[in-house]
Amino acid sequence: MHIEWIKGGVCAPMGFKASGVHCGIRHNPGKKDLALVVSDVPANAAAVFTRNKVYGAPITVSREHLKKTGGKARAYLCNSGNANTCNADGVDVADAMCASLANAAGISAEDVIIASTGVIGQPIPLDAIKLGIPSLVSQLRRDGADDAAYAIMTTDTFDKQAAVTFDVSGKAVTIGAMCKGSGMIAPNMATMLAFVTTDAAIEIPALQTALTAAVNDSFNCVVIDGDTSTNDTCAIMANGLAGNDTITAESDASSAFTDALTALLKKLARELAKDGEGATRLLTVNLKGAPTDKLARSIARSIVTSPLCKTAIFGADANWGRVLCAIGYTEGEFAADTIDVSIESAKGTLNVCKNGMGVSFDEAAAKAILLEDEVTLNVNMNQGAASAVFYGCDLTYDYVKINGDYRS
């Protein structure tokens, strides 16, 4: 299947508009803090949420809305600067935000998927949000994706957007997305926040299956710091305006849709990892030769999560023993005396471990490889056919600085 990468983010598919404004949640008036994406027509919707037992009120409300509508939605509403988590009135505030948007946009409050990101346990300024929503609605436009993408950012250093188009039954189908995330990232269902739009005609069960599969191979393969957020949400709206034959779970087109969605979310997953708080390098763990798929994912996650592996990458230190250590404490049955490790970047590839033992290598060459912006750890377990690719970043002094004064 051929997919073409295009610009436009969440507004790339037909029938979607977006906007972003500063309403006063964040102290800096130059930072947008309220985002909106609206479909011109009712859309089929699906979502996945955090498995953290402490989760934000917007998740409670979004789940209830999707249940009441039978999987329909018209809008994404998201604020940054405040997570609306662990607040006594959190659900009431989220409900009020949806009601305010419904009144201003002429839609039902239950048609809104709502999300929040920012500080936990801080009262949310509902009055400021209500005052900002009319402006948010009035600024909706077909080229508003950038404003929306900037409005959902917290410690991100750049916006994260992408879109693809491909053919389904002779019709051009487009999927667009935006996401945010820089810290508190070790997804255990979906991601930090990700909002996906598509003009595909696709049934809700097929949409949910495709989203779950795509997320599992993309956002669920990203680790920045090992912390699973309280607000993780990844949602998709499909409004059917492409006019393709409706995709069902049984149709051949469902695989094509899932593949395109997975490619899109993988691109964004890499950007999330590259923009990890304080990060200087993107770290990719390419794990193969594992006995089972479950073990492949578990081992790759152990490596990319390990603080010692991450600090070694920061220091451009080819300390491969830390990789073996991280592999060794992964739960599951596997041997340690068949493991090969190599390091790779634009500067080349260098073997550093063979059959679980060290090999002679040029330290200067290793350092040159590890000083590149993007570094890959290739690990071959040599014990099966299962593989996994995980994304992360180095652990730097700046990560501690950013999170040491996050609330200020």
Helix (H) or strand (E) holding 274: helix 253-274
Q: Are residues 289 and 259 in the same domain?
A: no
Residues 6+ apart with CB under 8 A from 89: none
Q: What is the pLDDT of residue 185?
A: 57
Which pLDDT score, from 0 to 100, does residue 15 have? 98
* Residues 39, 65 share a domain: yes
- Residue 296 sits in a domain whose CATH number is 3.10.20.340
Same domain, 87 and 119: yes
Is 191 catalytic? The answer is: yes
The C-alpha atoms of residue 204 and residue 210 are separated, in whole angstroms, by 10
Which one of 222, 239, 274 terminates a domain? 274
Instruction: Quick: pLDDT tens for 202-257.
Output: 999 999 999 999 999 999 999 887 777 788 899 999 999 999 999 999 999 999 99
Whether residue 26 sits in one domain with residue 53: yes
End residue of a domain, out of 216, 251, 274: 274
Whether 298 and 194 map to the same domain: the answer is no
**CATH number of the domain where residue 198 is located:** 3.60.70.12
Catalytic hit among 117, 191, 233, 284: 191
On whether both 333 and 240 belong to a single domain, the answer is no
| Co-location of 201 and 127 in the same domain | yes
pTM: 0.92
Query: What does pLDDT average to over the chain?
Result: 94
Q: Are residues 377 and 338 in the same domain?
A: yes
Task: Please check whether residues 66 and 190 belong to one and the same domain.
Answer: yes
**Residue in 150, 245, 197, 169 with CA at minimum distance from that of residue 12:** 197
31 plus 83 within the same structural domain: yes
How far, CA to CA in Å, does 342 sit from each of 133, 366, 371, 377? 52, 10, 15, 6
Q: Which of 274, 304, 324 is the last residue of a domain?
A: 274
- What is the distance between the alpha carbons of residues 241 and 230, in angstroms, rounded to a whole number? 34
Whether residues 186 and 263 share a domain: the answer is yes
Closest CA to 354 of 320, 331, 322, 325: 320
Q: Tokens in use for 92?
A: 């009431």
Range of the domain at 301: 282-404
Number of structural domains found in the chain:
2
Give the rounded distance of the alpha carbon of 166 from its chain centre: 22
For the chain, the straight-line distance linking the first and the last C-alpha, in angstroms and rounded, comes to: 48
Q: Which of 79-93, 221-235, 265-279 is modeled with the greatest confidence?
A: 79-93
Residues 318-357 have pLDDT tens digits of 999 999 999 999 999 999 999 999 999 999 999 999 999 9
Same domain flag for 224 and 296: no
